[in-house]
Amino acid sequence: MNENPFSQGAPGGNERAPPEVDNSAQWRRLEQTIMEARERFGNLPADELQAILDEAVMTSRQA
């Protein structure tokens, strides 16, 4: 009898989701992040957005 691979526990516990589910979830999260960034920063002028990115990169490199 074929057993449902999702019935063995939730991801994050001792059992892991199949790799294709993990990969799909990662892609979905990336798509959501891109949509959120476009909503938040899509109306900024390019030079202002670049200044924000430059500052964030500089700050992260100093940490």
pLDDT of residue 21: 76
- At residue 11, the pLDDT reads 52
What digits encode the pLDDT tens for the residues 8-25?
A: 455 555 567 777 778 888
Contacts of range 35-40, beta carbons closer than 8 Å, 24 or more positions apart: none
Name the one residue in this structure whose structure tokens are 């057993």.
Answer: 3
**Residue 11 · residue 22 · CB < 8 Å:** yes
- Joined together, the tokens standing for residue 4 give 């449902």
pLDDT, tens digit (0-9, with 9 covering 90-100), for 29-62: 999 999 999 999 889 999 999 999 999 999 999 9
Predicted structure pTM score: 0.51
